[in-house]
Amino acid sequence: MPVRTVGEYLKRWGYTPQRPLKRAYQQNPKVVQRWLDEDYPLIAKRAKAEKAEIQWADEAGVRSDNHSGRSFAPAGKTPVRLVSGSRFSTNMISSVTNRGKLRFMLYKETMTAQVFIRFLDRLVRGAKGKKIFLILDNLRVHHSKKVAAWVEARKEQIELFFLPAYAPELNPDEYLNGDLKQQLKTGRAARTQDELEGRVRSILRDIQRQPDRVASYFRHPKISYAA
């Protein structure tokens, strides 16, 4: 059949052209379903009984040479965006709640147990006595002995829970990362390390002042289980 005819049939059957979602082949669908049906409901039930706050956390890196997105220009005249010839980056770890709370910390070094503990300590001090249930991915640092010992010594203040392996779409904090990087594409490109950090910090503080925006991450179908 002609391609146009095939397209007409697909349209009638409700098919539309879409960009495929990326999903790791290592992901175990049964484990993901168990998380949705059993694991997370138990965490939520415990949090309610203990009056704990559930937070989802994730790390992200921002580089000076990240793609700046598309722009309009006359055909054949590719637009030019001035950027720094040097490469630099900044790293971020953050946490969000379904009520719109955002906490974040910027760091330059590699994520280590000590850096992660520094963030956990900030979360605990900021909670002002309220217990935190922190949900994370399975980064090796999150499972390190130093982190486990630190958390065990403060088990009345914080507990860690882990998402199924290779399932980032279940973490609402991933949508904060996407929001941040989308905003970084607008405006003048950062030309120095300090300028990049300043822009990232400014955008995150602006998002912090918009709890409804943070809560909207939980409206995505993949995250609605946690809304």
What is the mean pLDDT of the segment spanning 91-97?
97
Please tell me the predicted confidence (pLDDT) of residue 16. 86
Asked if the model's pLDDT at residue 207 lies above 70, the reply is yes
CATH number of 26-66+86-226: 3.30.420.10
The tokens 């059993």 sit on which residue? 38
Which is more confident, 27 or 155?
A: 155
Classify the phi-psi angles of 51: left when phi > 0, otherwise alpha if psi is within -120 to 50, otherwise beta: left
Over residues 156-201, the pLDDT tens digits come to 999 999 999 999 999 999 999 999 988 888 767 767 888 888 999 9
CA 173 to chain centre: 3
What is the mean pLDDT of the segment spanning 199-224?
95
Please tell me the predicted confidence (pLDDT) of residue 204. 96
pLDDT tier at 217 (50, 70, 90 boundaries)? very high
Q: What is the mean pLDDT of the chain?
A: 89
Please tell me the predicted confidence (pLDDT) of residue 68. 54
Which range among 4-18, 60-74, 88-102, 213-227 shows the weakest confidence by mean pLDDT?
60-74
Please tell me the predicted confidence (pLDDT) of residue 88. 63
pLDDT tier at 17 (50, 70, 90 boundaries)? confident
Q: Is the distance from CB of 172 to CB of 217 less than 8 angstroms?
A: yes
Asked if the model's pLDDT at residue 123 lies above 90, the reply is yes
Over residues 41-90, the pLDDT tens digits come to 999 999 999 999 999 999 998 876 655 556 677 877 777 665 555 676 89
What is the mean pLDDT of the segment spanning 133-158?
97
**Residue ranges per domain, the chain?**
26-66+86-226
Which residues, other chains included, contact 162 with Cβ-Cβ below 8 Å and sequence gap of 6+? 135, 136, 137, 138, 142, 143
- Quickly list DSSP for 18-76: -PPPP--TT--HHHHHHIIIIIHHHHHHHHHHHTPEEEEEEEEEEETTS--------TT
Which range among 20-29, 34-43, 53-62 shows the weakest confidence by mean pLDDT?
20-29
What is the mean pLDDT of the segment spanning 83-101?
84
